[in-house]
Amino acid sequence: MMNMDKENINRIQTKSKIPLPLDPLPAISGHVFKKRRNSETEYRHPLKTINNQQTNLTGSVGSSKKTKRVLNTAAQPLKLDTRHVTLRQASEDLDWDYNVFKDKSEEENSVISISDDEDNIENNRREVQYFADNIQRNCLGDAKKNATPVLNSLEHSRIKNIKRSLKRPHSRELQGLSSVLIQDRKEDEKHKRRLNFNERLHERLQSPDFFKRLYMTCLSRDYISDMYMYLLSAEKKTIVPRIPSITRACVINWLLKVNGADGDPTIVQTACWYLDAVLGIGHVQLDKLQLVAAACFWISQKLHGPSVQASRLVKCANRAFTGEQLMAAEKAVLYKLRFPRQPVVPQDYITYLSWWCDSSHPGEIEVAATFLCLSGLMVDKALCDEYPSVVGAAAVRNALLLLKKKDAMMRFVVCPVFKEIEKKAQSMSFVSSVQRKAVRLMFVPSYEYKAPFEHYSCRPYYIAQRVVKAANELGMDSRLQPGTSG
């Protein structure tokens, strides 16, 4: 017997590898069995709160007097101090249709539009609705069975991921979506969409900052020779248009007003190039001249940016044509010119040559040269028979002469780009005299097309007045001296 016990003990120790205690374990206290006995007699229904469990002990097995006493006391109402305890009602009547944010008009404020182009979204929804209503008429064959049957989801897809807090009235006012401002926002929406990439006139007249000067220095050192070799080889003359100069000046004056004082002059010069090219190879009726000019301006804006909508140009033309006519004219111009590439304009040379003459203050020279160039292109159509580089270089040369910048003139003469331009010019003095006559004509009271003079005569620099005054003085001196031309 002793041997069998020793074998069992050895077998247990080999399996568990836990040493058995030498002394016997202490006895288990009686209260442990008492609690276990009470827990076995308890019965708890699922999904019931703890406060209501005592009411279900009437049929329990082995209930004691203590549990009966608990049942009797549970039937009595609880006496609690309501100042510190919040009592819950026995019956819960919840209003599931309650609206947390009650606006005055649910139909008007139920949808928050976050798109900048609400008209396109509404048009797309109408097209989808029309397609669904007339699905049997569509020539889709078996494919009509695959059409999406649920169309109501398209109505609310724009607000699916928007927080409900955005529907609050004060949130709409902070975002500019208040019902009071909706009408004004829709009226000014076309103007807000226009992006302004161009510098304002006052910013151009100021001296450039450090980063811009550093950029121009690196550009001149590394890329200018290649860029202007390409521009000089790619530029072309336009044909002299078969139209009276005064009529052409009227149309270009209107384009300058549409572009504005702070607009990019490259856009107007490109539009003039397209207009002269169309008028040089074809005939345009007088009542369609403004429409063709607007189409050329629209094409130029799309090349240089930013571009405005067709309705904006229609409004600027006092609704002399419609948007559909403008798009048709744009196609006709491109088809007539066989979809030409982007032309080289004088402003491409004016900006660089002005910076070459005075890198610390190039704005004054650039604005004066731009005023001379636009005035010459508008007044005299003879400049269409000159290269854009010659027109731009003559404008910078006139600006330095009329603003009396002798040091800048000395730098301008030794510029390598100007030397290459001078080789291509037939007569630089003739182009310069045409531009000076054009700005002198701006000062004549009887001449009514004065958009360039109005744009560049702002204070505190008064560039246009200074240029016109110096041109008048130079013209009088040339007339007094025999054998000289203005």
Q: What is the pLDDT of residues 257-285, one digit of tens each?
A: 999 888 899 999 999 999 999 999 988 99
Across 55-69, 124-138, 149-163, 337-351, the highest mean pLDDT is recorded for: 337-351
Question: How confident is the model over 454-471, as pLDDT tens digits?
Answer: 999 888 788 999 999 999
Rounded distance between C-alpha atoms, residue 334 and residue 339, angstroms = 5
Instruction: Give the model confidence (pLDDT) of 386-414 as tens digits.
Output: 999 999 999 999 999 999 999 999 999 99
Question: Residue range 107-126: average pLDDT?
Answer: 57
Mean pLDDT, the chain, as a whole number?
75
Q: How confident is the model at residue 480 (pLDDT cuts 50, 70, 90)?
A: low
Instruction: Name residues whose C-beta falls within 8 Å of residue 242's C-beta, 6 or more positions apart in sequence.
Output: 279, 280, 283
Q: What is the DSSP letter of 21?
A: P
In order of their start, the domains of the chain are: 245-336 (1.10.472.10), 347-480 (1.10.472)
Q: Per-residue confidence at 140, pLDDT binned at 50, 70, 90?
A: very low
Q: How confident is the model at residue 131, as a pLDDT? A: 66
Sequence-separated (6 or more) residues with CB below 8 Å from residue 212: none
Task: Give the pLDDT score at 34.
Answer: 56
Has residue 246 got a pLDDT over 70? yes
* pLDDT for 288: 93
Rounded-to-integer distance, Cα 143 and Cα 136, Å: 11
Buried b (16+ CB within 10 A) or exposed e, 307-346: bbebebbbebbeeebeeebbeebbebbeebeeeeeebbbb
Amino acid 145: pLDDT: 43
- DSSP letter for 317, please: T
The mean pLDDT value for 197-205 works out to: 68
Q: Going by C-beta distance under 8 Å and a sequence separation of 6 or more, which residues neighbour residue 192? A: none
Q: Find, among 258, 250, 255, 274, the residue nearest to 312 by Cα.
A: 258
Provide the pLDDT for residue 157.
Answer: 46
Q: How far is CA 189 from CA 118, 192, 263, in A?
A: 10, 5, 20
Nearest of 219, 135, 193 to residue 312 by alpha carbon: 193
CA proximity to 412, closest of 348, 355, 474? 355
Answer yes or no: is pLDDT of 245 > 70: yes
Mean pLDDT, residues 145-173 taken together: 47
**Dist CA 263 CA 267 (whole Å):** 8
Q: How far is CA 270 from CA 264, 286, 305, 347, 365, in A?
A: 10, 21, 12, 10, 21
Other C-beta atoms within 10 Å of 177: how many?
18
Give residue 375's pLDDT band: very low, low, confident or very high (50, 70, 90): very high
- The mean pLDDT of 105-121, rounded to a whole number, is 52
For 219-240, what is the mean pLDDT?
88
From the centroid of its chain, how far is CA 225? 34
Q: What pLDDT is recorded for position 262?
A: 86
Higher local confidence (pLDDT), 357 or 144: 357
The yes-or-no verdict on residue 137 having pLDDT over 80 is: no
If one compares 291 and 94, the residue with the highest pLDDT of the two is: 291
User: What's the pLDDT score for residue 148?
Assistant: 45
Residue type, position 313, single letter:
L
| pTM above threshold 0.95 | no
Higher-pLDDT residue of 362 and 172 is: 362
Give the whole-angstrom CA distance, residue 438 versus residue 425: 20
Given pLDDT bands bounded at 50, 70 and 90, which one contains residue 200? confident
* pLDDT tens, residue by residue, 61-79: 444 555 445 445 445 566 6
pLDDT value at 52 more than 60: no
Position 477 scores a pLDDT of 64
Q: What is the pLDDT of residue 346?
A: 96
Residue 188 to residue 186: CA distance in whole angstroms: 6
pLDDT-based confidence at 209, cuts 50/70/90?
confident
User: Which tens digit of pLDDT belongs to each residue from 432-449?
Assistant: 999 999 999 988 989 999
